[in-house]
Amino acid sequence: MLLSIFRVFGVSTLDVVRASKFISEVDPTIDPSTRVTVVGGHSGNTIVPLLSQVPNFVDALSKEQLDALTNRIQFGGDEVVKAKDGAGSATLSMAYAGARFALTLLEATVNGQRGSVESTYVNLEADARLKAFQTKTGLDYFALDVEFGSEGVESILELPTVSAYEEGLLQVAIKELKDNISKGVSFATESA
């Protein structure tokens, strides 16, 4: 049986979890469970936190603070590896993010909960509304927010309006994602 490309997705919740935690450290009035939209990919510069989507947050930051926070979100995994002296990675964080993703999916598919949203990699061909974005970027895959439903991915949410700062991050991410996707497709093809 062939799977619909609308039902194939990959987890990128760990970046969302890190972004949420890190913004609450910068502004303790923000609940650490506040969901931050993170798009793009899951490695370094391909991780694009859309901090402009957090109400009243970015306006209070200097450019230096925004740069430092963005870098921390993008390279947060490196902090863990360094803290473990290279003897491991963020296994507990990954487990938490995977469990959160799975629970969100199960709440939607099994319990019928509406409005369950997580960031996930999607094939941009899965939704005709994303054709212009796919054409503009030249990417086949991109992490976006999706809403889950009883059949899995119910709706892929379009990229929200981003700030000029985030647009610059996206341009860097898109270039790197092209290489990452090419390597991933080659690996999958050779392993098949």
Q: Are 117 and 157 in contact (CB under 8 A)?
A: yes
Within a domain: 121: yes
* Structural domains counted in the chain: 1
Within a domain: 1: no
**In whole numbers, what is the pLDDT of the chain averaged over residues?**
88
Average pLDDT rounded to a whole number, residues 83-102: 81
Position 192 pLDDT exceeds 80: no
Within a domain: 15: yes
Q: What is the CATH number of the domain that holds 153?
A: 3.90.110.10
| Distant-in-sequence, close-in-space partners of 10: CB < 8 Å, separation ≥ 6 | 120, 121, 143
Within a domain: 3: no
Within a domain: 72: yes
Active site residue 42: yes
Range of the domain at 56: 9-191
Q: Active site residue: 38, 42, 51, 119, which one?
A: 42
Predicted model pTM: 0.89
Position 117 pLDDT exceeds 80: yes
